[in-house]
Amino acid sequence: MWSVIWRRFARSRLAVIALIYVGVITLIAVTAPLIAPANPNATNLAHRLSAPDHQYRLGTDDLGRDVLSRMIHGARVSLVIGFSATLLALIVGSFFGAIAGYYGGAADWIVSRLIEIVLCFPFLFLVLGIVALFRPSLWTIMIALGLTSWTTEARYVRGEILRLRDLEFAQAARASGAKDSRIIFRHLLPNALAPVLVSASFGVANAILVESALSFLGVGVPVPTPSWGGILSIAQQYIEYAWWLVVFPGFAIFTTVAAFNVIGDRFRDALDPRSD
C-alpha cells in the first residue's frame, strides 16, 4: 500500500521538492552545533546591526549576534516544537478518538463534548493563556500546543474506528477472544492512522507558525534561546534600516510552513484512490 501511495505522491514535483526541503531543514537542525559559524548567543556590540557581508553572511542583530548562527539554531527550536507538539496531539487525539469510536454510547458522548469544549476557545488565545499561566519554556510551549490541538486527530480517528470496528477482521479478532485493548490498539488503530498522518503534517506547520507567533509576541521560547519568531520580534524596532532581521526569518518560516502544507496536501491526494 505504501509503495502505491509513494508513487502517487512522487507524481507531484512540487511535493517532492517540499519533502527534500524539509529533509534539508531537519538535517540543518540536527547538525546545528557543527555547522553554525559562530556561537548564536555571542554578542559583539562593535558590529551590532551589521548588514550581510563576507564576515556575517546574514548580518547581525541589535546585540551583534550572528543572524546566520541564530537562524540555524532556530531551525532546531522550530522543528523540535513542531514535531513534539504534533506527536503529543497525535497520541492524545488517537487515544480519545479510538475510545469514542469503539465503545460509542456514553464514551462517545463524553469525548465529543470534551472536543467541543476545547474548540470553543480560540486556539491562539488558549495557547497564550496556558503559556502565560505557567513559566514560558520550550516544554511549556510543546505541551500547550499538544494539549490544545489534539481535537482534529481525535475526530479523524473516531470516524475511522466507527467505520472499521464492524469489518470482518475486527469481528474475527473479537470472536477469537481478543481483549478490547488489543482490538483497538493492535488491529483498528493502525488501520485508522493514514488520514491522521495527513492531519499531522498540517499540525507540524501550524505548531511552527504558532511558536513563531508566541516568540514574536514575547511569550515564546525564553531569551537568549534563538528562534525564528524571536529574531522577528527584535526586528520590530529596527525594521526601517535592518531589513535582514525581517527577510531571512520571515522567509524561513514561510517556506517551512508552506513545505509541510504541500506535503500534507499531496499526501491526502495520494491516499485517495479516486486520485488515479
| Cα 39 off chain centre by | 26
pLDDT confidence of residue 274:
59
Q: What's the rounded Cα separation, in Å, for the pair 122 and 231?
A: 26
Long-range contacts of 39-46, Cβ-Cβ distance < 8 Å, separation of 24 or more:
39/69, 40/65, 40/66, 40/69, 40/70, 40/72, 40/73, 40/226, 41/65, 41/224, 41/226, 42/66
Boundaries of domain holding 123: 2-32+59-275
Please identify which residue in the block is written with the cell numbers 488565545: 125
Indicate whether 132 belongs to any domain: yes
Indicate whether 38 belongs to any domain: no
Q: What's the rounded Cα separation, in Å, for the pair 147 and 191?
A: 24
Which of left, alpha, beta for 225 (phi over 0: left; psi -120 to 50: alpha)?
beta
Indicate whether 240 belongs to any domain: yes
Indicate whether 218 belongs to any domain: yes
Q: Count other C-beta atoms under 10 Å from residue 254's C-beta.
A: 11
pLDDT confidence of residue 238:
85
The number of folded domains in the chain is: 1
- Indicate if the alpha-carbon torsion angle 89, 91, 93, 94 is positive or negative: positive
Indicate whether 48 belongs to any domain: no
Sequence-separated (6 or more) residues with CB below 8 Å from residue 4: none
Tens of each residue's pLDDT in the chain, 276 residues: 677 778 888 888 999 999 999 999 999 999 999 999 989 998 888 888 888 988 888 999 888 899 999 999 999 998 999 999 999 999 999 999 999 999 988 999 999 999 999 888 888 888 888 888 887 788 888 898 888 889 988 998 998 898 888 888 888 888 888 888 888 888 888 888 777 888 888 889 888 888 888 888 888 888 788 889 888 888 888 888 889 999 999 999 999 999 999 998 888 888 766 555
Q: What is the CATH number of the domain that holds 94?
A: 1.10.3720.10
Beta strands in the chain (DSSP E): none
Indicate whether 251 belongs to any domain: yes
Indicate whether 46 belongs to any domain: no
Question: DSSP code of 52?
Answer: S
Indicate whether 99 belongs to any domain: yes
pLDDT confidence of residue 137:
83
The whole model's pTM is what?
A: 0.88
